[in-house]
A and B are shown apart, each in its own frame.
Chain A
Amino acid sequence: GAGVSQSPSNKVTEKGKDVELRCDPISGHTALYWYRQSLGQGLEFLIYFQGNSAPDKSGLPSDRFSAERTGGSVSTLTIQRTQQEDSAVYLCASSPLRDIGEQYFGPGTRLTVT
């Protein structure tokens, strides 16, 4: 079946602009995660959604970052007033509840803030 998809694949934006990154998880997966991959920092957890529960936002680096998950499926990560240090690859992953810890990753969105 279809894997996790993310759009856009690449995004270049000017400093100070807002951006929205989209993730379509695998159908039926109840858990959805956002990670950020940047040079020298590795993979950092940002936010986690599980079903209709309140999201775990403990990894968000600042209040400029937010995310929504509508209808338990598609998720949007929003970065407001982008800064150059936000430049990174943003990865989305989804997981079926029965497979504890095993996450299926999308190809990522490469964000460049100029």
Chain B
Amino acid sequence: AQSVTQLGSHVSVSEGALVLLRCNYSSSVPPYLFWYVQYPNQGLQLLLKYTTGATLVKGINGFEAEFKKSETSFHLTKPSAHMSDAAEYFCAVSALNQAGTALIFGKGTTLSVSS
């Protein structure tokens, strides 16, 4: 069984500050890990994904995440927040090598960015 825990339902940062959104997962098999973003009144958009290989993954809009197996974590970071980053962010896990497996999502973290 797999699960995802996102620590902090709401994170507030100032424009230009570091963004850190936390995600821990539980999986009995090697996981595929994802971060999705949902802007207000829009659908989910993939930010980045980890499947195999390099543990530091770069995504769109300057975001990156690092897979740390020892910590069962996949935290999302961005060095400098922009006002346009305000959105809801979801971490998700699926099972490695199972094509088409449904994603298991965390409950989401709302990011607010102030000027």
* Residues in chain A within 8 A of chain B (CB atoms): 4, 30-31, 33, 35, 41-45, 48, 50, 56, 59, 91, 93, 95, 97, 100-108
Bound together, the chains give a CA A48 to CA B101 distance in angstroms of 8
Beta-carbon contact of A42 and B94 below 8 Å:
no
Q: How many residues of B contact A (CB 8 A)?
A: 26
* Interface residues as binary, B88-105 with A (CB distance below 8 Å gives 1, 0 otherwise): 001010101111111111
* A-B pairs with lowest CB-CB distance, top 10: A42-B107, A43-B105, A101-B94, A31-B100, A105-B44, A45-B102, A105-B43, A101-B32, A107-B43, A50-B100
Q: Which residues of B contact A (CB under 8 A)?
A: 32, 34, 36, 42-46, 49, 51, 90, 92, 94, 96-108
In addition to A43-B108, A100-B98, 16 A-B residue pairs with Cβ atoms within 8 Å of each other are: A4-B43, A33-B102, A42-B106, A44-B105, A45-B102, A48-B102, A50-B99, A59-B102, A100-B101, A101-B94, A101-B101, A102-B34, A103-B46, A103-B103, A107-B42, A108-B43
Q: How far is the CA of A30 from the CA of B107 in the complex (A)?
A: 27
Inter-chain CA distance A105–B32, complex, in Å, is 18
Evaluate contact between B100 and A97: CB separation under 8 angstroms: yes
The distance from the CB of A4 to the nearest CB of chain B, in whole angstroms, is: 8
CA distance A50 to B99 in the complex (A): 9
Given A45-B102, A48-B100, A97-B100, answer yes or no on A102-B49 (Cβ-Cβ < 8 Å): yes
